[in-house]
Amino acid sequence: MSDTPDRKPQGGRRTLRGRGRGGSTTPGSSTGALPSQRLSSLRDNPQASTSGTAKSAGKMKFTPKIPVRRNKREPAAPSSIKPEAAAQETKPAEQRLSDSKGVRGSGPQNGRGGRGNGRKRVELTQRITGPFAQGPASLGSHARRGPATASGIAYGGAAAKTEADDGGGGLNGQESPAVVRVTDYNERDGQDEFDVQTEEMALAAFEEMSRLQLDYNTADALGLGKSEGPAEEKLVVLQIPRIPEFELSKPVLQRRRVARQQQRIAQRQKAAAAAMDVDAAAVDVKPDIAALEKAAGADGDVMEVDIKPDVSAADAKHAETADSAAEEKAGDSDLAASVDGRAGTLVVLRSGAVKLKIGDVLFDVSRGADCQFLRGLLAVDVRGGSSSAYMLGNVDAQLLCTPDLDSIL
């Protein structure tokens, strides 16, 4: 057959080598290197044993340690066991495995980058648990017994078609449950284009983002940017965890109380004037009213006097005082309820930050998420028998207020 010197078999391998060459000859190859490019895995790995399943002597038994897919593609890397290389090889197997098991790559896991270049490879493995933990049934149990012979290779779960499994592959010795190397097929195509994202890159990206944040001008939302002219009114929605409580200051309360009383008195005066049958008591009461206007004390319910003409002036006054006191209280609660006034200040700082101080609490103001859809403000009044709705305008921007914990704590 071949021209090579017939050597004594120095090992099962040798013999096989010698025989396996078929037609090609290279006389000078005394070292035993096979001239042919085929069967490179055999050439480079004289150690690889046949694991005892060698078939008849005449037949080449190709037993790499890595499960190899029986397709036209020749294993790119020799069966010297390098995890990276192995990963490459097992990919086709995984593909089938993944397809059959539906295990999808958890692609965007941390630290994961493109794999294709082989420069930096991130090993992604995922434990198989549950009913699939034992691997495919096609394997045959002998391959699964005990820890694997393959070192450190995650068993790609060769699909049924590969017959070359029986020696190689096996469960990953490091972990007892079967493990699947997970691939993200969405990224597979782009593997050659993307670089792996290193930590430096991630940090750089973060800094970039923070820088951008400052430029994301919150002040613009309020129409304070220099680019905008003196604006029309803007309607904004402020989001705040809780609105602090306020009360009116004493002078304001006082002022309001007096104003309200004046109002009331004025009304009654009009009513009294209209009523023609004002008796002397009523007339007497009027100047008192005038005198008391300035004081905080309650006064003059002229209506009462009209209704009860029999009541003596003194009694009438008593009644008046009591009534007015009650009214005053009612009035006060109304006043207290409608808190109206300056609650704080909003400042825009040169760095772009915007702060809000409401009462004694300091807030950071940032821009809320951009909203694509329409937002409006509606005032709905259901008091009385009829209801009315007043559309007050569209919301232009949303601002988020977060308490500035540094100042509070």
Location of structure tokens 């592959």: 169
Identify which range of 23-31, 113-121, 308-316, 379-387 contacts another protein by CB under 8 A: 379-387
Range 335-354, binding another protein (CB under 8 A): 337-351, 353
Q: Does the protein bind another protein through residue 409 (CB under 8 A)?
A: yes
Residue closer to another protein by CB (options 51, 402) is 402
Range 192-231, binding another protein (CB under 8 A): 219, 222-224, 226, 230-231
Q: Return the SS3 of 90.
A: helix
Distance CA 281, CA 301 (A): 12
Q: Does the protein bind another protein through residue 376 (CB under 8 A)?
A: yes
> How crowded is the C-beta side of 285, counted as CA atoms within 13 Å?
30
Token code pair at residue 311: 């009541």
Q: Does the protein bind another protein through residue 54 (CB under 8 A)?
A: no
Distance CA 364, CA 349 (A): 11
Among 60, 237, 303, 311, binds another protein (CB under 8 A): 237
Range 244-263, binding another protein (CB under 8 A): 244-249, 251-252
Distance CA 9, CA 242 (A): 88
Residue closer to another protein by CB (options 158, 356) is 356
Q: Does the protein bind another protein through residue 365 (CB under 8 A)?
A: no
Residue closer to another protein by CB (options 209, 405) is 405
Q: Does the protein bind another protein through residue 372 (CB under 8 A)?
A: yes
Q: Does the protein bind another protein through residue 333 (CB under 8 A)?
A: no
Least Å distance, CB 328 to another protein, is: 20
Among 39, 54, 60, 238, binds another protein (CB under 8 A): 238
261 contact partners, CB below 8 Å, separation of at least 6: 293, 298, 299, 328, 331
Q: Does the protein bind another protein through residue 234 (CB under 8 A)?
A: yes
Enter the DSSP assignment of 197: -
Least Å distance, CB 90 to another protein, is: 41
Q: How far is CA 224 from CA 344, 349, 354, 368, in A?
A: 18, 12, 11, 16
Alpha-carbon torsion 79, 82, 85, 90, what sign?
A: positive
105: closest CA among 186, 189, 183? 183
Residue closer to another protein by CB (options 190, 225) is 225
Least Å distance, CB 259 to another protein, is: 11
